[in-house]
Structure 1
Amino acid sequence: MAKVTLSVIKADIGGFVGHSAVHPEVIEKARGCLEGHPLLIDYRVVHVGDDVNLIMTHNRGRNSGEIHQLAWDTFTACTEVAKKLKLYGAGQDLLSDAFSGNIKGLGPGVAEIEVEERESEPVVVLMADKTEPGAWNLPLYKIFADPFNTIGLVIDPKMHCGFDFEVRDLIENKKVILSCPEDLYDLLVFIGAPGRYAVKRVFHRGTGEIAAASSTQRLNLIAGRYVGKDDPVCIVRCQNGYPSVGEVLEPFAFPHLVSGWMRGSHSGPLMPVAMADARPTRFDGPPRVVALGFQLANGRLVGPHDFFGDPAFDRARKLALTIADYMRRMGPFEPHRLHLDEMEYTTMPQVMEKLKDRFIDLRRDKKPKEKAAGGVA
């Protein structure tokens, strides 16, 4: 059986209104670009917040220039619609005027897996808004390395061998492979710092097959300035040697703190929501995550199933709002506002530049000590 590639490629090409949602005309334009395209087996176009997400299946493999070109052309066409409607930040994630063979490094986020379909091939596509790639670190750790979350690690003989984590250093552009359970503590050293380190891919140690993949693009590091938060996507395979669907969703019952929210400059809870509620408004947030389930059937996308529409996540949403109340009370003070290392990638340097001449260097503004009587200083 030919392998099938599932590609999830996203971009913010204009918000409606502000940073809240995507205008229906933009979604329709994207669907029109993909409908009946000979490169694709199947597709879905959805949005989370102000991001357009292209979910595509094909036989071209990961990093296909043709598929990435199709996504780029789709986002470019959508940008023209966004400009016509004067949507906010039209084309903000398209950081180049020309496609160069691969969409990576040009702004849009990319997560891809290539698989030989099993007898049943369920996958969960996770999509977030108002946060960064490291937002997946805690959930992916819990899904693939924490037996208190994923009982399959203990009782499923097909999972007992554990998983390998590919961790990216987003600052120095390096990667390391860490194996769990034996490298568990080493893994946590890095992924506990999600602003710099992010889980890119997870592999089954028994088969070597891909288990999960995420987008790790950081717009500010590509553009050299703040152009919006990264709003990452992630694909997770489920069942039969992989975590069950319920084990994949369970980490999101706890709305952990992530970086992003308003102006990409604040910490806030990642709130699991159904598609209908993926329209952040309060302080442009709180950050949202949507989980869509699909069955792959000869490359066809059977679904989606909107997992977080389940009332079982109502308490998580309530807790997220309580956390949001608490964090907002701190206004511009850390830890609600991000620490200064992260603020260097926002618009704050422009404010600092304006004030730099008003700072006095106390090390240089010292008067000579006067000598006391008898010549002793």
Structure 2
Amino acid sequence: MVKTTVSVIKADVGSYPGHSRTHPKLLEVAARMLKEAEGSTIIDSYVTHCGDDLELIMTHTKGEDNEEIHELAWNVFLECAKIAKEMKLYGAGQDLLADAFSGNVKGMGPGVAEMEFEERGSDPLLVFMADKTEPGAWNYFLYKIFADPFSTSGLVIDPSMHQGFTFEVHDVMEKRRIRFNTPEESYSLLAYIGAPSRYVIKYVWKKDGTIAASTSTQRLNMMAGRYVGKDDPVMVIRAQSGLPSVGEVIDPFRTPILVAGWMRGSHHGPFMPVGVCDANCTQFDGPPRVVCLGFQVSNGKLIGPADMFDDPAFNRVRDRCCELSDVLRAHGPFEPHRLSLEEMEYTTLPGVEKQFKDRWEDLPE
């Protein structure tokens, strides 16, 4: 049986004004280029944005890490970056860290989340896209969705989920990976993913090998060797029929958690779930946003999307995020609003420290 692959590839190729939102012209060009590739390179596509990030959602039968698919995305980003530069948009091409395509966009700047699977009788798919935060922002939610029975009741009352799930965690500092089985290794899993700036959940599977979730784990500053913006991750989750229901997947987002990123990638802020129409980061270049588009996958076709957070049920969490924003902003340049010194090493602060390195004196004994 031919398997379907879903590839979600994103990049910040230029925005206006400042880091606020993606220009409609870029969305139009990207959608046209992908549409022209349908029927040959890809089966179906959808183009959207979250804040200043251009999001490409594609289906095909070529598997993960396919050179042809990644080159298509790269060419779309290059063309959009060219237009962004002509319009003098902010940060035009900032996520494109290479001059030429080299077989795979991983390590070249864009974020990538992909999964290959055999389609079920009904296959709901949820695509999450974030702005002004880092890949580890998904850790809390993936644990709640796939390992917390107080969040996902199916872990208790659905026999097909009783065996639990397997989580693949990446150490983005040491470039290594490990797998944990839940529920038996839940505490060990939490010991690592509770430090989301370093340990990031990449995949989640059922114990029988069925893929359930895939995320982007690319860290821009580590690839570029300098601060070039936050990573703004993406995530793909399958739902229903032995997996958490659609409602169980999105319900944890009603809790306002704090994530790293926000202004200059240097602050903690509340992760606000919004509809695509509100995915424009303004207040202090934020607060960090997350959107979710829901599809049914049918023979590789994307049926949808449904804008999952465009729902008054999420109004209260948005209000609470605004309250948390007020509390954190009152801290100004002080921690915990500002990131810890260890995390600030990956922002623009080292440039300030360099200016004063010769003015420090040893204390007398």
TM-score for the superposition, normalised by structure 2 = 0.99
Q: Which residue of 2 aligns with 1:91?
A: 93
SS at match of 2:181: strand
User: Which aligned pairs between 1:24-103 and structure 2 lie closer than 5 A?
Assistant: 24-37=24-37, 38-103=40-105
Q: Deviations over 1:24-76 (max 9, x none)?
A: 11111111211131111000000000000000000110000110010001100
State the shift of 1:334 in Å.
0.4
Measured in 2, the distance between the counterparts of 1:66 and 1:18 equals 32
- CA distance in 2 between partners of 1:237 and 1:24 (Å): 29
AA partner of residue 212 (structure 2): A
Aligned twin of 2:206: 204
Displaced runs of 4 or more, over 3 A? none
1:174 — aligned with what?
Answer: 176
In the alignment, what sits opposite 1:22? 22
Q: 2 CA distance for matches of 1:32 and 1:75?
A: 13
Q: Secondary structure at the match of 2:159?
A: coil
Once the two structures are TM-superposed, the CA of residue 357 in structure 1 deviates from its matched residue by: 1.1
Deviation by residue 1:254-298 (Cα, 9 ceiling, x = unmatched): 010000000000000000000000001000000000010000010
> Does the residue aligned with 1:87 lie in a helix, a strand or coil?
coil
Could you say which residue in structure 2 is the equivalent of 1:320?
321
Name the counterpart of 2:153.
151
SS in 2 for 1:346: coil
Q: Which runs of 5+ in 1 are unaligned?
A: 367-377
Total equivalences in the alignment: 363
Q: 1:154 and 1:299 mapped to 2: Cα distance?
A: 32
TM-score with structure 1 length normalisation? Answer: 0.96
Which 5+ residue runs of structure 2 have no aligned equivalent? none
Residue 197 of structure 1 aligns to which amino acid in structure 2? Y
- Provide the C-alpha distance between the structure 1 equivalents of 2:359 and 2:350, rounded to a whole number of angstroms: 15
The separation in 2 between residues aligned to 1:255 and 1:298, in whole angstroms, is: 36
Distance in 2 (alpha carbons) for counterparts of 1:47 and 1:315: 24
- State the one-letter code of the partner of 2:10: K
Superposed CA deviations along residues 280-336 of structure 1, whole A, max 9, x for unmatched, are 100000000001000001000000000101100000000000000000000100000
Counterpart of 1:10, as a letter, is K
Q: Alpha-carbon deviation of 1:190?
A: 0.3
1:115 pairs with one of 108, 113, 117: 117
Matches within 5 A, 1:217-228: 217-228=218-229
Deviations 1:78-109 (A, max 9, x none): 00010011000000000010111011011100
Aligned-partner residue type, residue 28 of structure 1:
E
Equivalent-residue separation in structure 2 for 1:113 and 1:126 (angstroms): 14
Q: Deviations over 1:216-271 (max 9, x none)?
A: 00001111110000000000000000000000001100010000000000000000
Match of 2:299 in 1: 298
Tell me the distance in 1 between the aligned counterparts of 2:188 and 2:35. Answer: 45
**Residue type of the partner of 2:295?**
F
Structure 1 residue identity aligned to 2:199: Y
Partner of 1:163: 165
Please name the residue that 2:345 is paired with: 344
Aligned letter for 1:8?
V
Rounded Cα–Cα distance in structure 2 between residues aligned with 1:299 and 1:16: 34
Looking at CA atoms only, which structure, 1 or 2, has the larger radius of gyration?
1
Give SS of 1:349's match: helix
